[in-house]
């Protein structure tokens, strides 16, 4: 069953299909209001791979990104691509890159490009939190070790831009279907799943250390 959510009479880009919460591009700020840290979602629509050098070109060099990522998604990843000739390509493998590598660029990148959904490996910090809160965006984690699974969820590579950067850094604009699972690590309210859980984990760790210390305290 497919349920398309509505808000104030307007259709939103969120579908519930077979129990999955699916975000469909284009995505607005309103679409992200009911998505919170810890949620597991999927993405259908436009997704562009975008790593360090592309971020640097946009933020530090002031170059206009040649793929329209406004209200769409980027993936921190350096994929393996097979050329089929005539500017046609096939995704072979696309494992996420550690998102923290883009942390110093992300506020300005989100502000400049209008991207709504950022995907990658691991969490991000204050710069990205502020961007998500100020401009209405989210960061999600794609589970590591699933590069081939991710490639299967890429239906088509629409275009390749900045090919002078080499395969890993090229902007590969893709169409994806139910890309995921994606764990929301930063929501549009600026909450950070990893940072909040870190406090909880440390508290539990300290409690367990105290218990273990009492149990083995007799050992000299």
Contact 189, 129 (CB under 8 A): no
Is 55 tagged catalytic? yes
Q: End-to-end alpha-carbon separation of the chain, Å?
A: 63
Considering 55, 76, 139, 173, which one is annotated as catalytic? 55
Q: Which helix (H) or strand (E) holds 58?
A: helix 52-59
Return the bridge partners of 83, or none.
89
Backbone φ and ψ for 68, nearest 5 degrees, come out as -80, 105
Which token pair is 193?
Answer: 């799943």
Which token pair is 178?
Answer: 């139910």
Q: Are strands 40-49 and 73-75 parallel, antiparallel or unpaired?
A: parallel
In three-state secondary structure terms, 134 is helix
**CA 102/CA 95 separation, integer angstroms:** 16
How open is the CA angle 188-116-160, to the nearest 5 degrees? 155
Annotated catalytic residues are: 55
């Amino acid at each position: 069953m497919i349920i398309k959510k509505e808000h104030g009479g307007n259709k939103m880009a969120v579908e519930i299909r077979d129990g999955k919460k699916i975000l469909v591009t284009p995505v607005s700020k309103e679409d992200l209001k009911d998505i919170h840290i810890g949620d597991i979602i999927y993405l259908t629509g436009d997704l562009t791979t975008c790593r360090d050098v592309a971020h640097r070109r946009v933020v530090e060099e002031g170059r206009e990104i040649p793929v329209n990522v406004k209200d769409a998604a980027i993936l921190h990843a350096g994929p393996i691509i097979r050329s089929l000739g005539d500017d046609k390509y096939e995704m072979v493998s696309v494992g996420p890159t550690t998102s923290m590598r883009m942390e110093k660029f992300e506020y300005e990148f989100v502000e400049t490009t209008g991207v709504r959904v950022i995907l990658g490996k691991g969490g991000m910090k204050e710069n990205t939190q502020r961007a998500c809160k100020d401009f209405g965006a989210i960061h999600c984690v794609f589970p590591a070790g699933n590069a081939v699974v991710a490639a299967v969820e890429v239906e088509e590579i629409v275009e390749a831009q900045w090919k002078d950067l080499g395969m890993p850094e090229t902007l590969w604009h893709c169409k994806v279907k139910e890309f995921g699972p994606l764990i929301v690590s930063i929501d549009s309210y600026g909450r950070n799943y990893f940072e909040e859980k870190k406090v909880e984990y440390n508290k539990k760790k300290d409690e367990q250390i105290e218990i273990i210390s009492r149990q083995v305290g007799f050992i000299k």
